[in-house]
Chain A
């Protein structure tokens, strides 16, 4: 990971995380209002992945680690 630049956090659809689970994690970890948490879960349910707003590398890495602790399949790529 280069120190500069922005990184995109991607959350991937899978068969084990549930709609409500993703919505709650989005609410708690991403700080989204509940309805937007459900919207993100719906977007993910109907696609392969959703991308979050690009952010600095260390912050993006920390978020991916936190999402993975919650059991989500989260990855990083350079914006």
Chain B
């Protein structure tokens, strides 16, 4: 049977997400892997080298190194916590059956998580990466995550009832 992800807007920023079992399994494993990598920073003490340090997750906001350091000091913890909290909510709400309804807040969580989930599979920071330059398996995962994110976004903005389908 063909694998698919179908996202349909129902209005008010809510979408319905339906996945084949294989597709749901693949998404789950990618997100669980991201959760495992992000959990490193919450260990006490954290490992000396995080696989996803802030500089891999978030670009420099300024040209100046000093201003960047100050920016990360002011906002870095909150930004990483928001990503972690969004991922936790997505995983906690994971359904037993491969379909679920995402309200406006859940759409936001999925958008955040699907963007950052790509980072582990790219050789360069995400904002400098070219598509198609990683190992083949990783390229497939990145392309998949990008397309799923685009489907969620397009369905959220589309008129209710218009499905956006990703054939896997």
B30 within 8 A of partner (CB) = no
Q: How many whole Å from A58's CB to the nearest CB in chain B?
A: 9
**Given A20-B154, A23-B153: A75 and B82 within 8 A (CB)?**
no
A-B contact count (CB 8 A): 93
Q: How many whole Å from A44's CB to the nearest CB in chain B?
A: 13
Q: From residue 52 to 80 of chain B, which have CB atoms closer than 8 A to chain A?
A: 58-63, 67, 70-71, 74-75, 78-79
**Given A21-B153, A25-B111: A69 and B63 within 8 A (CB)?**
no
- Determine if A70 and B115 form an interchain contact, defined as CB atoms under 8 angstroms apart: yes
Q: Digit string of A25-62 for contact with B (CB within 8 Å is 1, else 0)?
A: 10110000010011000000000000000000000011
Q: Digit string of B93-118 for contact with A (CB within 8 Å is 1, else 0)?
A: 00000000000000110011001101
The range of chain A's interface size is 20 to 34
- Please report the C-alpha to C-alpha distance between residue A61 and residue B83 in the assembled complex, in whole angstroms: 18
- In-complex Cβ contact of A75 among B62, B111, B115, B149 (8 A): B62
- In-complex Cβ contact of B112 among A12, A62, A71, A73 (8 A): A71
Q: Which residue of A lies closest to B60 (CB)?
A: A75
Judged by DSSP, the binding face of A is helix
- Determine if B131 and A16 form an interchain contact, defined as CB atoms under 8 angstroms apart: yes
- Determine if B126 and A16 form an interchain contact, defined as CB atoms under 8 angstroms apart: yes
B146 within 8 A of partner (CB) = yes
Q: Which residue of B lies closest to A35 (CB)?
A: B157
- Please report the C-alpha to C-alpha distance between residue A15 and residue B130 in the assembled complex, in whole angstroms: 6
Q: Digit string of B122-137 for contact with A (CB within 8 Å is 1, else 0)?
A: 1000111111000000
B142 within 8 A of partner (CB) = yes
Q: From residue 1 to 35 of chain A, which have CB atoms closer than 8 A to chain B?
A: 1, 12, 14-21, 23-25, 27-28, 34
A-B contact pairs, 7 of them (CB 8 A): A16-B131, A18-B147, A20-B153, A21-B115, A71-B112, A73-B127, A74-B59
Residues of A at the B interface (CB closer than 8 Å) are 1, 12, 14-21, 23-25, 27-28, 34, 37-38, 61-62, 64-65, 68-71, 73-77
